[in-house]
Every structure is written in structure tokens, then in C-alpha cells.
Chain A
Amino acid sequence: MQVKDVRHVEWDDVVEAIEKCYELGWTDGLPVVPPTVARVEAFIEYGRRAPDEVLGTLPERRRAITVAKVAANAVMAGCKPEYFPVLLAATEAMLDPAFNLIGPSSSQGSAAVLTMVNGPIARELQINCRNNLFGPGHRANATIGRAIRLILMNACASIPGLFDRSIIGESAKYSYCIAENETETHWLPLHVERGFDREQSTVTVFACWSPRQLRCDADPRATLDCAADVASTFGTSLCTSDSVGDTSQLVRQGQMVLTVAGASTFWRDWSKQDVRAYLHPRIGRSVADLKRVKVLSGAITPDDAQHRVLFVPEPDDILIVSAGGPEGTGYRCAVILSELPKVASAAVTKAITIPSIS
């Protein structure tokens, strides 16, 4: 195997090795595992891909992202070789035209990339889908999510202050990877709803803000009313008329992920489709509200209170994920709003290719 773009370095001990990576400008601010040729090659061999294979391009920055670059960043993040197929598929997803990486990776609005893994690989790799879903403590979640950010920073040149123009950033930009709890719910998994076989492993990437937690102890309708209210608040990435969206619309038309924890029996009479159908018409504000906070211009007229503006284009633009601790009292959800309108960046799902053992 011939891996290109190598650098000769020398060090006395592991601390010096880590410091060397800082000096080279390769880290997210935390210590990294030095991407030695031997370690990077082990990842590439596991993935059974050619190191120079181009996974996609970023023409605006004139970058081509290869298998070897993804492997180097996966090593640095602390991944195991077994995680590598997830990162290959996630990179292809981020470089899909529908994701439009140039938007979320440069926007002042500070998009994180939520990475959601479905299918058998999520269980094989022990990607956490239960308690402390977005929190620390799970190597697969922590390092896959971190590798995504390192790939963006190093391979895609989304360097803070250079091409990444985030105003305040998001803590989720360090790491933001979850799996769906497919075995403790009657709901169809996300990837099945998006057209894949249940046994096909997939990864879905979504450019978004950090999760906004909500709790409700009542019943499904009250829980969804709370979720709709959170998704309809002023000052979010959806409640704005700023103009990177379709300007024929009054406000941005964005997507949303809703993670739902708690016992599956709570939702026994509901499918994910029912949840979306209930939520969709309830996420939005009246024209009067939007004028009051200057999202829309002009004086408020008597009819404005009756005219509602929806924030999400279609019910299918609400992605429901069953995840989080299943035993909780109250039904904890997380509302996650897209940073951009759907026309500028949409969630993308790709199949994960599992290397066959020859």
C-alpha cells in the first residue's frame, strides 16, 4: 500500500508525539492519536479500499477527499479500525450535493453535523443509543463524532476563522454521533423509513444546532405539543426570514430531528408517521408573531393573527429517532433544528459498506 502525503517526524515519548500534532495544526484542541503510517494503513486495509480513492470533492475549496485522508483523521480521533466504514459512508454523505457541505461548513450560524447510525453495525460497534445519548462515556460515539469534525477541519479545510465562519460555534461540533435504539421500539427505524432494508447499516448526516432537551410526563399529545412549541420558538435557525432560503417563502423551510426516549408502550397507538402528521402543522408561528419580532416586516394587521407560517416544508422533513434511556420517568425528547433551510442543506443517508472477510 502506498499512502501519500507523509511527514517525517521524530519524538522521544508519547507526550512529545501528541505535542507534535498540535504543532502541525492538526487537532481540534484536544490531544490526538498520531496518525502513523502503520496505523492509518491498518484502517485502510480494514475498509478494503484504495488509499487514493476519491470519496467526493469540495469544488468551492478545490479539495478532493480520499480514503487515506479520512483514515488519518479517524486515527487521530481515537477510532478503532472497525469504525472506519461508518466514516467512509458519512464522508460520502457530507459530500453529497444535497448536503451542500460548503453551506453548513462555512456558515456564520455554526452548524454541527449530527451523525446517526442505523442497522446492525450500530449494535456491533456498540454505538450508544440509550442513556446519556448525547453525553460522554462511549468510545464509538465520542470518536466517530470527533472524526467527523476532524475530517471537516483537516480534509475539508473548515478551519475556524478561515473557511468556518461560525459566530459562536456549538459544543456539538466537537462530537455529535448517536445510534437509534431499534430493538426496544415498535417504530420503524429511521433508515427503513428512508428506503433502506432493516438489515442494511446506514449513516445519516444532518447539519444542525445542538439538541434542545424537553420533558413531559403527560401523554403523547402533550409531549408532542411541547416538542412543537420548542421547535416554534423565536430566534431559532428556522424562525428567520434571512435569505439563504427560498425567497418565495416567508421564512426558512428547514428540517428537524426529534429523538424520543422513554418506554415504547407510551407510544403504543402511534407510528412515526402519526407523530410527524401531528407535529408538522403545529411547528410555525402566526404572521402577527413573526412581525412582532421583526422576522417579517410591516405593521401587524387584524388578519395576521389568523395566518400561520409553517417552519418545516413537509411532514417527512421531521426525522424521528427512538433513542435515549428507555426507563425514564417522563418522556425525554430532544428537538434538533437544521442550521439551514432544506434547499441549502438536507439530511443525507448513505449505506455503510461492510468489508467482506476474504
Chain B
Amino acid sequence: MALATRQQYLLVDPTTQPLNTMFHAAPRLHDLTNKRLGLIDDSKENAQELLEELTAVLRQRFGIANVVYHRKPSASKPAAPEVIQELAQTCDYVIVAIGS
């Protein structure tokens, strides 16, 4: 008896893979002394408390030249591009707090 021939098919993969976008990291800071600090509060519970405490610690240990505080209108949405742009221009480092 002849062997049955399996049928060959091409299937379109319905899934996607992450795109490999180029990512340029900012130069690392070697010293936080009197640097300009940016803060993004995701607007969830306790994010503000966490960031305030963190700011106090940073101020005490390193000194802070300036603080820019941004509270997102919704934790579900990314910060607006203009906010990120402003933080990038006016801050030496930025800390994001995720509450809950």
C-alpha cells in the first residue's frame, strides 16, 4: 500500500512580534548633587506620598537644584509627549512612581 502524502500548506501567522526600535539611553549621572529632578506621578494611590518621601531623601542627601512635578491625568495613559519633552529639557534625571 502506498504511503499517504501529507498535504503541505502555508499559513499566515496571525501574531505579531515586538518591533526592535532603536533606543538611545541618556548619559548616566555620576553625581546627583544639586541636579534638577523630574517626577512623574501616575495618579494612583500612594504615588504622591512615595515621591514626596523620595524627594525629601534626595534633598537631604544630595541637594536638589529644582523639582518639576507632573501628575498624569490617568494612570492608564502615557504621559503626553509635550510633558516628556519638557522634562527632558528641564531635568537632569526623572523618577516615575507607580502607585497602588
Contact = CB atoms under 8 A, between A and B. Distances in A.
Interface of A: 3, 5-12, 17, 20-21, 24-26, 34-37, 40, 59-65, 68-69, 71-73, 75-76, 100, 102-103, 107, 150, 154-157, 242-247, 340-341, 343-345
B11 A37 contact: yes
B12 A9 contact: no
B43 A65 contact: no
Name the interface size band of chain B.
20 to 34
B85 interface: no
B60 interface: no
17 contacts: A7-B10, A9-B8, A9-B11, A10-B8, A12-B7, A37-B9, A37-B12, A60-B78, A65-B16, A73-B14, A76-B14, A100-B76, A107-B76, A243-B75, A244-B44, A343-B77, A344-B77
**SS of A interface (majority):** mixed
A249 to B, nearest CB: 11
B74 A245 contact: yes
B15 A26 contact: yes
Given A12-B6, A35-B14, A243-B75, 7 more contacts: A11-B9, A26-B15, A35-B12, A36-B11, A245-B74, A344-B75, A345-B76
Contacts of B15: 25-26, 69, 154-155, 157
B99 interface: yes
Given A60-B78, A63-B18, A343-B74, A71 B12 contact: yes
Contacts of A62: 18-21
